Every structure is written in C-alpha cells, then in structure tokens.
Amino acid sequence: MKTRGGEARFALEAAATFGLEAVVRDELLALGMSVTSTVDRRVMFEGTAMDIARCNIRLRTADRVWLKLADFPAQDFDGLYEGVRQAPWKDLLPRNAAVVVTARSSKSRLESVPSIQSVSKKAIVDALLGRRGHHAAEERVEESGPLFSVEVSLTQDRASVCLDTSGPGLHKRGYRAESGPAPLRENLAAALVLLSRWEPSRPFADPLCGSGTIAIEAAMIGRGAAPGIRRTFAAEKWPTLPSRVWADAREEARAAERRDTVMSVEASDRDAGMVAAAGRNAGKAGVSDCVRLRTAPLSAFRPSGQFGCIVCNPPYGERLGERREVEHLSREMGDLSRRLDTWSFFVLTASTDFPRFFGARASKNRKLYNGNIRCYFYQYFGPLP
C-alpha cells in the first residue's frame, strides 16, 4: 500500500478467465486504471479505495478484484509465517475480523494446502493481536466482525497474499434468476460481445438465446449499464474502507449510463419456457425495453437490418444424439450466414468440427474456457457498415 497526495493507493489484481486477460486489461484502461502488468489469469494495476469500488461495480469481464498485500519467498513454514505476518493486516482488518484462508501450491516445496492455510491463518491472527511465533500455542480469538477472504498462492517457492474485495464472483450480476441446464457465465457472455466488434448502431442477434444472457449483456453494454450496480461486495463491509466510496462509485456509474441509446437486440430460442425466462431476466436487468424476444427454431430466424452481429453459444452435445443435433445446428447456422451476407457471426462451441459443418473457415479462432470446458470462439467477420 502506497500513499500519493494523501490518498492510499493499493496494489490490485483483476482475476480473468484464461484467454480474456487482454479484454480485462482494456476494460481497466478504459476506466482510467494504471495497469502495471498482465500474466495468465491476472491483470495487475494500482488504485485507490474508490477504484476498488469502481472496478467491482463496472468491470464486465473480470472474475473478481483482489487486493494484493504481500509477495515474498517461502521455502519453509517459518518463511511463510513471517512473510504473511508482516503484511499490513492492521491497516485493513479490525481485531475481530472473521478470516477465511484459501491456498494453492504449484511447483513449491510447501505442498500441503491445509498446512499452508493453518500457518497463514495463525500468522494473520498473531499480527492482529500483536503476538509472534507460529510455534506458540493457539489462543482462541473472537471472529465476530466482517468476513475477510484471504488467498495464499505459492508458485515456485514464492508466496502471494491477496484479499478478495468482491465476495461472490463478478459474473453474478443479480439479474439471472432463471437459467438453462448449462448456463453461460455473464462475464464470459459480455466478453464475447466485446470481442465481436459490435456497436449499438449495428443490429445484434442471438438465435440460440436460452435464458438470454448474451443478448442481455449486449443491451447492457450498448446502454453503458454497470453490471454490478444491483449487488453488494465483500469490501463494502470493511470498516477500514470509507463507506462513501461505494455510494460515489454507484452514482458515477448511473451518470455514465446512456438510457436514450437506440439499438436493435434480438434473441430467440425454440424453447418457449427459456424465452419466457429470458424475458424475466431482461426485466430484472432493466433492459426489457431494448431486447426483442420470440420463440422460433434457428431455421426460422430472420433478423432485421444489415451489417449486424450474431453472437451465440449453441449446445455442446455430450451424447451421440446431442452431437448430431450440434452438427445439424452448425449446418443451419452456415446456411443462415449465406443468407445474411453482410452479417458477422461469432460462435462459442466445444466442437472442433464446427467450421466444417458451418461450411467456412473462421476469420479468427480464440481458445476460451466456459467453466472447465475448453471451447473455441469462431469469429466470421462480415463487412463493416
């Protein structure tokens, strides 16, 4: 933690799904953050307490925001204890903080995750109580205060200690009360839209919409609606961060919203129940006035306008019958692309055979992960307006 102009500045990290680090970085830069570096699944930046609130409320594609407290060599448990204990816990945690430690270890001498958690937790408690020595007897301490989730990560005998400022993952916007059997995470859906080059001046469509996540995220992007405006975050309960920053960040986010934006966002699905659920989700997200929904199979889909973007996440198909259905949908989508020759198509699927069924080689292919499923984001760039 640094101080500049009398204001504390923190080392922060935005967690990213593998393959989306550059998208998260661009979001941070657009918000005016000072990005320092990017590694697999993390984008490092510096910011104030206001920036912690701003990023949690407004980042669309990040998984969560971490506050980094320490980074040090840890070849044994004595080194781990001392390194964790020396982090500035008293600057952020009250004496009665409820501390939960998670840990992971890769290519390090300290391999036991439970032991790493135990030693780290004792170091944090000792720092708060002003005592020392991880071999000393554990005293019972009250943990009646706000929750602080700590991650201790060891890689090649080097420890990183971070505090989770988000709580539940940032993909949980609060609008999706209903979803299908294999829902697409909201932040991944937002990333697909951002990668599509779509702008509100162009038509947008998802003909395999399920519970409507992609279309809803597109409408929120078009309107500039902050994805986290309706939820709360772990750091809001921290007494050491000014409570006013959250109110200020929400007010700032509402002021940036463009409710008068005119756009065409269409979504359809052959399952009437899913279309009804998509309508309810769009209502909770505050975009039901700009998302047009209908029940229709892919073969009957006829979007309006030219130079539009189709972004969709068709079923992956695990069993034989489902694989045949995936092949059939892929061929139908290829037929649709030939009818809509000014449109661009962006399809996230686990199928490596999609281009063959679609009938064309993708302009670009990006490997992404939907949960633990390795997927491919096939991008077919049509002409721009």
pLDDT tens, per residue, the chain with 385 residues: 666 555 789 999 999 999 999 999 999 999 999 999 999 999 999 999 999 999 999 999 999 999 999 999 999 999 999 999 999 999 999 999 999 999 999 999 999 999 999 999 999 999 999 887 655 545 566 788 899 999 999 999 999 999 999 999 999 999 998 776 667 999 999 999 999 999 999 999 999 999 999 999 999 999 999 999 999 999 999 998 998 999 999 999 999 999 899 999 999 999 999 999 999 999 999 999 999 999 999 999 999 899 999 999 998 765 545 778 889 999 999 999 999 999 999 999 999 999 999 999 999 999 999 988 999 999 999 998 8
pLDDT at 320 (0 to 100): 46
For residue 187, give Cα distances in angstroms to 194, 267, 334: 10, 18, 27
Instruction: Quote the CA–CA distance of 286 and 38 in Å, as a whole number.
Output: 33
pLDDT digits (tens, 9 = 90+) for 190-219: 999 999 999 999 999 999 999 999 999 999
pLDDT at 6 (0 to 100): 58
pTM reported for the whole predicted model: 0.93
* Domains of the chain by residue range: 2-164, 186-227+256-380
DSSP annotation of 150 reads E
For the packed helices 272-285 and 213-223, what is the interaxial angle rounded to 10 degrees? 30
Q: Residue 165: CB partners within 8 Å, gap ≥ 6?
A: 52, 56, 64, 65, 66, 67, 233, 234, 235
- CATH number belonging to domain 186-227+256-380: 3.40.50.150
Instruction: Quote the CA–CA distance of 21 and 15 in Å, as a whole number.
Output: 8
Instruction: Tell which phi-psi region holds residue 284, choosing left (phi > 0), alpha (psi between -120 and 50) or beta.
Output: alpha
Asked if residues 310 and 344 have their Cβ atoms less than 8 Å apart, the reply is: yes
CA-nearest of 277, 310, 291 to 223 is 291
Residue 190's CB is within 10 A of a number of other CB atoms, namely 27
Residue 268's CB is within 10 A of a number of other CB atoms, namely 24
Asked if residues 204 and 218 have their Cβ atoms less than 8 Å apart, the reply is: yes
pLDDT at 307 (0 to 100): 97
Instruction: Quote the CA–CA distance of 302 and 306 in Å, as a whole number.
Output: 11
CATH pick for 2-164 out of 3.50.50.60, 2.40.50.100, 3.30.2130.30, 3.60.20.10: 3.30.2130.30
Angle formed at CA 371 by CA 284 and CA 41, multiple of 5 degrees: 100
Indicate the SS3 state at residue 350. Answer: coil
